[in-house]
Amino acid sequence: MATIVEVIKVLEQLAPVPYQEDYDNSGLIVGNISTEVKSILVCLDTTEEVIAEAIQLGANLIIAHHPILFKGLKKITGKTYVERVLIQAIQNDIAIYAIHTNLDNVLHSGVCSKMGEKLGLLNTQILSPKKGILNKIITYVPTEHIDIVQQAMFEAGAGKIGNYDYCSFIQAGTGTFRANEKANPSFGKKGDFHREPELKLELICPDPNISQVISAMKKAHPYEEVAYDIIKLENVNQEIGSGLIGELPEPASKKEFLHRVATLFKSDIIRYTEVKELKEIKKVALCGGAGSFLVSRAINQKADVFISADFKYHEFFDAENNLMILDIGHYESEQYTIDLLYDVLSQNFSIFAIHKTKVNTNPVQYFHL
């Protein structure tokens, strides 16, 4: 037996909700976290056809990439497809969980990394690392307890910087305090002014780990009242952010690369910009879904091409003849997210069936002359 909350824990270890963009609505859209999971259906979009498929399969949990609910609803009458999907899900006891830009924004096992994997990219990095999701935690520990407290905080998720873990800074000092009659001091006596040799401990901690790190710190700390500071940092996190950039194993001609991309992503049409001076393609930037906001980043990092979707006419001019923009289609760029989520869930749960949707939810059709 596994409940929805247990599935959510696995998904949010992969892509914590705090990593989503401000406009997004990732997380549990409909449902009760304590419900037992009978079966899961994985999809990009939760449409009425997908709800019908879930009912037919006996799936009571849908894991979707795109949230069905972005804006607040004042009425749910079935007037729009969003309202109808929500009504049908609730009536049939089907929970809906969305894992959107938080999954876009993770370097490892994210939407963009899946695209990069399909293209065989090497030396991949986040194209636009995210700010404001790192914190510095500072606490003060009696000298002989530093190893215990430090280790507890490391194990809870603090102290990781890029390819290094167990990172911290320690500085010696003296702490002072006086315990009142209601206190239960580990050091000193009630009513006495006390000086204690302490070490100042500083560690970096990402937003999703803050609560568990503070809890572990307090549990391991010998003091009844633990003094600590949490400082929000402007430092970028190199493993969290938008887009991806990497290199092909071998350079490819423009024609060869366009054919490869069209084949891999099953794109009936690729809209692209021409760069006459570009003879071969080696460095590739990409972003699943709508990624026009990253063109300048791709140019600055000397990418030969930028693969994404949903470019407006005038946005193609932003290439400035510096790189090829390849608009392969929104659905096409994200289609392998279904495989990604299916694989993660299958590796963690074997007590119920996990299905990939057979419904093509791409609303865009192509006419060929």
Instruction: Report the distance separating Cα 282 and Cα 208, nearest Å.
Output: 35
Instruction: Report the distance separating Cα 342 and Cα 8, nearest Å.
Output: 14
Instruction: Report the distance separating Cα 88 and Cα 95, nearest Å.
Output: 10
CA neighbor of 34 nearest in space, from 88, 89, 93, 86: 93
Q: Which fold has domain 111-128+241-328?
A: 3.40.1390
Please check the confidence at residue 312 and state whether its pLDDT lies above 90.
Answer: yes
132-178: pLDDT as tens digits:
899 999 999 999 999 999 999 999 999 999 889 999 999 999 999 99
183-242: pLDDT as tens digits:
999 999 999 999 999 999 999 999 999 999 999 999 999 999 999 999 999 999 989 999
Domains 111-128+241-328 and 133-233 share a fold: no
How many Cβ atoms are within 10 Å of 316's Cβ, its own excluded?
15
98-144: pLDDT as tens digits:
999 999 999 989 999 999 999 999 999 999 999 989 999 999 999 99
Instruction: Report the distance separating Cα 215 and Cα 153, nearest Å.
Output: 9
Strand positions, DSSP E, 224-361: 228-233, 236-252, 271-272, 281-290, 305-309, 324-327, 353-356
- Tell me the CATH number for domain 4-103+336-356: 3.40.1390.30
Q: Are the CB atoms for 191 and 113 separated by under 8 Å?
A: no
Q: Are the CB atoms for 96 and 64 separated by under 8 Å?
A: yes
Q: What pLDDT sits at residue 72?
A: 84
CA neighbor of 342 nearest in space, from 25, 49, 59, 131: 59
Instruction: Report the distance separating Cα 183 and Cα 123, nearest Å.
Output: 55
pLDDT, the chain, mean: 96
Q: What pLDDT sits at residue 189?
A: 93
Q: How far is CA 261 from CA 173, 286, 332, in A?
A: 59, 12, 10
CA neighbor of 287 nearest in space, from 270, 310, 266: 310
Please tell me what DSSP assigns to residue 179: B
Domains in the chain: boundaries: 4-103+336-356, 111-128+241-328, 133-233
What ranges in the chain are assigned the alpha helix state H? 4-14, 48-57, 81-91, 101-104, 111-119, 146-156, 210-220, 254-264, 295-300, 330-334, 337-348
Q: Which fold has domain 133-233?
A: Alpha-Beta Plaits (3.30.70)
Residue 225: both structure tokens together: 């009242």
pTM of the model: 0.90
